[in-house]
Amino acid sequence: MKDLKYFEKELNKCSKCGLCQGVCPIYKQTGNECAVSKGKFIMLNGVAKNDLELSDVINNYLNLCTGCGKCSDFCPAGIDACHIINTAKYEYVKSKNIEQFKNFLFSKIVFDFGIKFLKFFTKKFKTKNTNISDEKFVYFKGCVNQIFPNTDKYLSKIFKNKIEIIDPDFECCGLPFLMNGDMKSFNKCLNNNLNLIPQNTDFIITDCASCADTIEKYKKYTDKINNIKTLNWGEIIAQKNMKFKFKKSVKFTFHKPCHLKNDDFLEKIIKNCDNAQYIKMNNYDDCCGFAGSFAVKNFKISQKILKEKIKNIEATNADYVVTVCPSCLAGLKQGLLTYGNKNIKAVSLLEFLAMGA
């Protein structure tokens, strides 16, 4: 694990150009310069130089972050904001017994118990008729997907059991722990998951953009691997040029999760959906504000961001808002229920396509 000192050079690369302010969902809502990476880097530079103490105040600003990574995508210096922010959170937690105890409670009691409880209602994926095809896909289901236990049913319907899906019962990708500075639990998830990947696996398939992004980042936290490539089920469906026909005419829009790097598959899928009209929403790639524990720690800001998203969804007049991240899906469902038109349904891409399969 690298420490904050290691990033001193990278922190110095920040030219204070402010481009990150234009894309940061927190800055857009609060206008607070300490909340965006530019401001965070000024403080962390002081900490790395031992001019400042990594105080509770600085940690509160570190927690004002959805981990969307948009600031890094737009940063001309290419500074990896999430890696630096998560490292600083880890250093803060390391220095505070109370924070370590809170993380212990969260990881061991709330999270472990919650996932075990949800897994009770979901089944491991079992492919039928595997002799039909020798195509094998290693599926990383992810823990939030346990809340939506029908994913297996949708996959069976879409692929008609013509592919073999290997579901090694992976653990959580570790993102909730990484975002809380709990490196012990994150490393446990990382190591367990790496041990479960079958040999000669070219790609890991997910339907969660956040899991995919975290798995691809594993290489930053371990020497055991160079690179792991992930693909979204949407990319497989587009590559296979699969066709869908909806019985009843439907209108749909798409929310692009912040962690989804490439949504080129969407265009092809849209063309292949008969009787389904796509309407692009305004700012379709803006954060939904959910972001796991961020929504709990910063409820008001999270809901402000979510309200904007719901407004944009409603303006499309669509029947469905489709996405490829179970966390975003949970947030969108809550947002539509609380602030929006209850007739609009938030569904995963797999659920949506299963309707037309």
State which residue, 75 or 322, has the beta carbon closest to ligand SF4: 75
State which residue, 66 or 230, has the beta carbon closest to ligand SF4: 66
State which residue, 37 or 193, has the beta carbon closest to ligand SF4: 37
Looking at residue 198, the DSSP 8-state letter turns out to be: P
Q: Which amino acid is at 232?
A: N
State which residue, 38 or 141, has the beta carbon closest to ligand SF4: 38
CA–CA distance from 324 to each of 74, 306, 346 (Å)?
Answer: 22, 17, 11
Least spacing, CB of residue 31 vs ligand SF4, in Å: 13
Least spacing, CB of residue 287 vs ligand SF4, in Å: 7
State which residue, 71 or 173, has the beta carbon closest to ligand SF4: 71
Sole residue written with tokens 């296979």: 240
Least spacing, CB of residue 23 vs ligand SF4, in Å: 6
In sequence order, what are the beta bridge partners of 321?
Answer: 253, 346
User: What are the residues binding ligand SF4 (CB under 6 A)?
Assistant: 14-20, 23-26, 36-38, 41, 65-71, 75-77, 79, 81-82
- Alpha-carbon Rg for the chain in angstroms: 21
Sole residue written with tokens 């849209």: 270
State which residue, 70 or 255, has the beta carbon closest to ligand SF4: 70
Least spacing, CB of residue 3 vs ligand SF4, in Å: 20
Least spacing, CB of residue 88 vs ligand SF4, in Å: 12
Least spacing, CB of residue 51 vs ligand SF4, in Å: 19
Torsion of CA 38, 40, 43, 49, to 10 degrees: -90
Q: How many Å apart are CA 189 and CA 101, to the nearest integer? A: 19
**Max CA pair span of the chain:** 65
* Exposure string for 157-184, b = 16+ CB within 10 A, e = fewer: bbbebebbbbbbebbbbbbbbbbbbbbe
